[in-house]
Structure formats: C-alpha cells, structure tokens
A and B are shown apart, each in its own frame.
Chain A
C-alpha cells in the first residue's frame, strides 16, 4: 500500500467526534481512496469517551488496523487513554492552550497544539464549533481539501439554513488559519491527492443490511428498537416505502417476530433486526417458524452481553443462542458478516436460504460492524440472484394440495392467500402432510426428519468457503464475523515474515460446515479460532461437530481484536510447536 494513513479523533461524546470522523471519511472517499472506519462510544446520549477512527488507503483495506498515525485529542481523557499508542512516528493534535490538559513531550512524537475550545468559545462564541475548528486544523496540517470538508458541512446542515452553514465554514477556517499561522509542519503525513472517484457506494454496516433486504425483496419490517440494531430500521423507514413496503414498530420483540412470521405466511418477504435481549424474546417463536415451515430472517446485531451488558460495544457472543436457541429440535441457519459488503450480500443470502428452505435464518453482525463505514463496489442489482419460495402461484386442486408434503428435499409447496385451492391451516402442533394435528409415533418421526433434511444440503449450497494462505500451514486460523478482517491482516503480515499460515473464512456457521472444516484442519498443523466471547463459542461448535480440537483465542473486553494480537498468538503457537520435537 502506497498510502496507509490512520487518523483517530477522540474526545467527549456529544462534542462532534463522530461527525468529524464522518466528514473526513467523505473527504477521503471523494479523493478516490478506500476507507474503513471504526467508531466507539458509550450508550449515554451525551458524555463519556467517544472515538472515531478512519483508515485510508489507495488499496483494499483488510481491517481497521492496530493503532493510528495521527491522534486528534479533544480533551485530557482522550489523551491519556491513547497515550500508550503515541509511539515514535505518530502525531498528536491537541486542544490547548486553555484546554483541560497539557501533554508531556514524547520522543519521536510530533505535537501540534490547537486551542479548539478557546477559539470556539472566545472567538466564535459557541462551544459547539469545537469539532469544526479541529477539522479545519486537520485540513491545514495534513492537506485535507477544504472544499471537500465544506461540501460535507453544507450537505449535513442543508436543512438548517445558510446561516448555520456559514458559521461552520467560519469555524473550519479559524482552525485552518491557526495552524497555518502558528505551526511549521514537521511530520510526513499528507492526505492523498484527489484521484478519479471509483464506482463505489458508501454504506454503514446497518445501512447495507437495510439496502440488502430491500434488494432481496423484503417489503415488511416489523421491529422493536434496540441498540445497536435500531439504525437498520432508521435506514429502512423511508427506503422501504419507495418499494411499497413498510416499517412497523411493534410493542416488543415477540410481536416483531410474530408479525414477521404472519407477513411471511401471507407471502410477503419480511425480516426483523434486534440484539441480545431481543434475541432472547424472539427465541419464543423460532420453534413455530420451524414447525409451520415459514421463511423467516432475523438479523442479530450483537453487543456486549449478557443482559443489558454494553449496548454499544463489540462482542461475538450470540452464536450459541442463535444456533441452539428454541425449544425442541429447531432446524435453522446462522450466517455471519465480516464487513460492510457482506452485510449487503449476506442479507440477500439470508433471504434466499430462508425462502428456499422455509426455515429461520439468522444473520449475525455486531456493534462495531453496524457503524463501520466502507465504500463498496457498486452492486450490479440485475446480476444478483434472488430466490423466491416454492409457493402455489395459480389455482391448485384442493384435493391434491398437501402443504406439508413429505418430499425428498424436505421442501414442500406453500399455500398463499389469494391462490384458490391452496388454503391450509398452519399449526405449531405436530401435523400430518395435510395439516391435521397428529400425535402418532410415525408422523412425529417422519415429519421431524422432513424438517431436518433441509439442513443436509446447506454446506453444498453455500460452498466453497474461501481459504487463503499456505497449503501446508503450521497454523490455520478459522474465524467468523468482523474478526475475519483482522485475521486477513494478520495473515498477510505473518506470511511476509515467512511463516506458514492459512485461514478459512466461513460465512455459514450453523449448520457447521463439517466437510470443509475437516479438510482445512487436515491441511494445517494447528487450528486457531480467535473470537470475541469468553467461551470460544465457534470453537466449541467445531469441537462438537467435527474431529477438530481448535486452540481458542478469546477476547471479551468490548473492543474488537487488533491484527497484532492474532499475529502474536500465531507466532506463539509456531514457537511452541518448534520447541517440541516432533
């Protein structure tokens, strides 16, 4: 990568830290760069430590990276939290004098002061301008084009009128002028010069899910709000109206999943999104959807749990509940997205699988991915495969029609209200092929097997799983969700160092893709599964379903892995293996 620049803006929630990051992100996209963002903030509306980070490159970015090149510290807390990362070669832009702290000199670290608080309060008479002053100074120091920042400001405040826009322009200019008059640039970092913008669209993780759902044909979204899933609905509420669909706010998550099931029963593709506490409630009706064989998609934007836990923080701890949740034997599928592009395409895949197999399908995302912004290649909508259920489309003979016909694939034709002759009563009771409630041993056995046969073909249908790295690696990494992006970066670095490393990137976690995991494990000496939960949930599923005994690397601090942590773990395993004579 010729350009690989990471800027972190940190301060107090409500000070415009997050929007500053968004402005820089837009400027970088406009410059034709690849961008990956990472945001972190507390669940309070105002206050608490907030961080917005963006990594900019001229090539595909694998992960959010390990640290930053430039830190913009809005206050003393932001400075002290990030002080350990101020290593030689990095730059600190800090609020002062007249801020709440004074950094001490660190050898090799370039420091520029900008009196952000002072300028906004004393000169501009409005403390709200602080982040604009900071952005202006960043533009002045690192060459972010001012017209690009101004365009973002204008777009954001369009509805508030020219006066507000002009005020923000003035704040940007004040920060810009300050650094031009007071500092001589001594660091090597400059914002990349503008290149022709690529044919990309820029999406946040949850926005990609919303768009993917609509492309998949979803026309009904019943939902109960919960962080960090709420914004899926925010992004959908107007979009779905444009395609004659509707976002319906329910009274709780049980009603949301019930309404999704009802809509799906009448032939309308629908889904809902939630997070941990909502998944617990929705678990109530997973069995109904499986028993009545209703296509159902649920997005779980995972957060720190259990209970209310850490609503805005990263964790990958809902794999067990989504794979195993529900009383009785509930066949279902669990997918996990690693980046924003996958949030889009796997949402469509989730609908396709639900439609085809008439079962519940979970798509896992997480708090970090929900907010991550990426520019993705503009999708070619016409070439996207959309699967629609096997359903009666024109009049059928009611004497022949059997809703739960026990077919070799386990899939049977659904009746649809409005299609003459296809009327049937779905029921959560065990039933015969023509819906009659039954308790006979034969029916229970046959119908259970019918429902579970659907899972037999999932691994084939969703193959092959991407494998990267050496054919005969010392360590093979299996990961899921966002962690895959850090693994990719670690693998590149490790192989550059000459280590023999491979990685497998499954998207379908349940049913566990047994055949391919066995094959991968056979090609490497040690299997490592890094994941952000304390139990090593995917490692445990692999252990229970395959002959593989993976090494677990677990992390549960509310922040995603850093690539270097996975790198270090792999090197530790390689060294340990080398120390033991074969």
Chain B
C-alpha cells in the first residue's frame, strides 16, 4: 500500500491503481462493475483526492462490494442504507470527500426513501448507482429499473411492471448534478464521475453497468450502438430541457430507434447543506471549548 503524498494545495498525487486495496473483486467475469471501479479510481486520481480523507459508502448487492476493493476509507453497510450512513458522515464532518456506490435495487427499492431527502438538502456528496436493471446478488429478480418483460426469478413470465425513470426522479427531487454514464466507456465514465465529485452539492451519476450473468437484454452489446452523447450545445443549467432528455431516456426500451443519453443532463449551483449549518453555528456562537458554567446557569430556573 502507498501512503499518499499531500501537495501544498491539499491534493495528492496517486496513480489510479493506487486507490485500489489489496482485495481482489469477486464479480463475475464481464461484470460492468469492474469498469466502474476503474472509472472511480481514475476520477479520484484525476481529482487528487486524499484516500485518507475520503469515504466510499455502499449498501448490499454485487455492486455494493466496491468499497472493499478500495484503499480509501469505506463502509459496506446495510441494504438500502448507504445514503443515510453517508449523510451522517458528511453532516458531521463536512470536510471529508464522500461518495456512495450502490446498485439500482439498493437505491430505488429498499432505499428509495433516502435519495429524495439527501438530494433536496443538497448534501455535498456523490451518488453513483451501478444500474444493471436487476438484482444481481440475490440471483436475478426484477428491480425498479428493470424494463417491462424482463424475466426474473419471481416473474419468470417477464416483468409486468414499468421501470422508474431514475434521471427524472433525481431531477425532480432537486439533485444539483445529474448525469448518465455507460460502463462500456470507462474513460468517459471516469470523467463524468470526476466532474460529479468536484461538483459542490448533491451529484448523481447513473452508470449503466450490465450484468451479463442475469440480465440478458441490457448488455454491453445492447447499449453500445444505442448510447449517444448529450449534444454539446445542451444547456445543462436548464432544468426543463434536462427533464426533456430524461423523459426520452427509456424510449429505447420500446422503440428500436431510441437512443440512450450519456453525459451531463443538469448542473446548478445552490447553497450546500453544510454552509447553512455553518451559518447556524456562527449565529449560535458555536465553540469547541464551551463555557459549561454559563450553559448550566441557563437551567437555574427563572
């Protein structure tokens, strides 16, 4: 293992592979999540993130194993709960770099209540969902992002439900950075994740990360001809235009001509949660060395 060399600016210079721990991934060969791991390492390296001041938090699922392969701090927590665990870290120690890496089931089924509340508060962290449209770890059940008709072990006859539109979901709940990436293009995915991590506020990257073992439809081969970069002239500050892109992001599931948008849909600057908390601490004259006698005097009655 390498101990990071901190530069004057507080940034460190580490190669992407130096962000990996000694533990080797246990994913199936061909799993999209390998590329996501590489992309995250690239992003951390490019951004000069100090691994001793970064925590990668996950839930439970194939994808959620990711922090175990990393040399940063990590917390492989409980199914659905990565976001509130990460929120606790970020709100209590805002100076840390916090990223959450989870699967689509973790994010939108069991943990579905947590995204809206972290997003609307603009907590400065990055949520990376490895979206394979399936529950991988429990061996092939449909997830909230599974397309209609996709067979799963509890619906062998094919999914009778419609998927949720995750990009629209995040835009609606107030995420201040919303992007989509494709694990088939690790370099671009790394760049998008890198931008997400430098964004001040709640950033979201939906990474289409195929599960070749269980999802036989949404494969690398399926996506490759369909992915299409969001046009360079798209106004990323325009929420309605971003929602317009999101609205058509799943068209490809019904329409053979449909495209899968890749890149940044939306980015805006809003005060982050920690700034508001800081203002309150200042207002209340917060101190690390409180005058206890003065505090106790407040309980003497009138």
Residues of A within 8 A of B (CB): 26, 29-30, 151-152, 155, 200-203, 207, 211, 214-215, 219-220, 222, 238-239, 241-246, 248, 250-252, 254-256, 258-268, 270, 284-285, 288, 292, 375, 378-379, 381-382, 398-399, 415, 417-429, 435-437
Contacts and interface: CB of A to CB of B under 8 A. Distances in A.
Contacts of B168: none
Contacts of B21: 425
Contact of A152 (B54, B57, B293, B302): B302
A399 B77 CA distance: 24
Contact of A426 (B75, B283, B296, B299): B75
A418 B4 CA distance: 12
20 contacts: A202-B299, A220-B88, A220-B91, A220-B92, A243-B290, A244-B286, A250-B84, A251-B116, A255-B83, A258-B88, A262-B87, A262-B88, A264-B88, A381-B293, A418-B53, A420-B4, A421-B3, A425-B73, A426-B77, A429-B76
A421 B1 CA distance: 9
B287 to A, nearest CB: 7
B73 A423 contact: yes
B288 interface: yes
Contacts of B117: 250-251, 255
Interface string B2-27: 01100000000000000001010000
B93 interface: yes
Contacts of A424: 73-74
B230 interface: no
Contacts of A260: 88
A262 B89 contact: yes
A375 B280 CA distance: 31
A243 B288 contact: yes
B287 A244 contact: yes
Q: How large is the interface on B (under 10, 10 to 19, 20 to 34, 35 or more residues)?
A: 35 or more
Nearest to B57: A262
A307 to B, nearest CB: 21
A211 B84 contact: no
Contacts of B166: none
A264 B292 CA distance: 24
A419 B77 CA distance: 21
B245 interface: no
A381 B52 contact: no
Contacts of B68: 425, 427, 435-437
Interface string B85-114: 111110111001000000000000000011
Nearest to A294: B75
- Most chain B CB within a 10 A radius of its CB, from A244, A258, A285, A437: A258
Nearest to B93: A266
The secondary structure that dominates the A interface is: mixed
A417 B93 contact: yes
Contact of A265 (B75, B114, B296): B75
B157 interface: no
B78 A255 contact: no
A241 B88 contact: no
B74 A426 contact: yes
Interface string B165-194: 000000000000000000000000000000
Which of B4, B76, B84, B287 has the most chain A CB within a 10 Å cutoff?
B84
A249 to B, nearest CB: 9
A252 B296 CA distance: 32
A409 B92 CA distance: 29
B84 A423 contact: no
B76 to A, nearest CB: 4
Contact of A242 (B3, B54, B287, B299): B287
B87 A244 contact: no
A242 B285 contact: yes
A211 B285 CA distance: 18
Given A246-B91, A263-B91, A241 B73 contact: no
Interface string B49-65: 00111111100100000
A422 B1 CA distance: 12
Contacts of A207: 299
A266 B77 CA distance: 14
Contacts of A292: 75, 77
A219 B92 contact: yes
A159 to B, nearest CB: 14
Contacts of B92: 219-220, 246, 262-263, 266, 268, 270
B200 interface: no
Given A251-B114, A252-B113, A423 B71 contact: yes
Contacts of B288: 243-244
Contact of A26 (B67, B88, B302): B302
From B3, B21, B89, name the one whose CB has the most chain A CB atoms within 10 angstroms.
B89
Contacts of B285: 242
Interface in B253-302: 277, 280-281, 283-288, 290, 292-293, 295-296, 299-302
A479 B108 CA distance: 46
B114 A202 contact: no
A263 B299 CA distance: 29
A211 B297 CA distance: 12
A256 B76 CA distance: 18
Nearest to B121: A248
Nearest to B289: A243
B70 interface: yes
Contacts of A422: 52
A562 B205 CA distance: 60
B296 A417 contact: no
B1 A266 contact: no
Nearest to A382: B292
B89 A244 contact: no
B299 A203 contact: yes
A44 to B, nearest CB: 28
Contact of B78 (A248, A250, A288, A378): A288
A248 B86 CA distance: 13
Contacts of B3: 398, 420-421
Nearest to A254: B81
Contacts of B219: none
Contacts of A427: 68, 74-76
A242 B87 contact: no
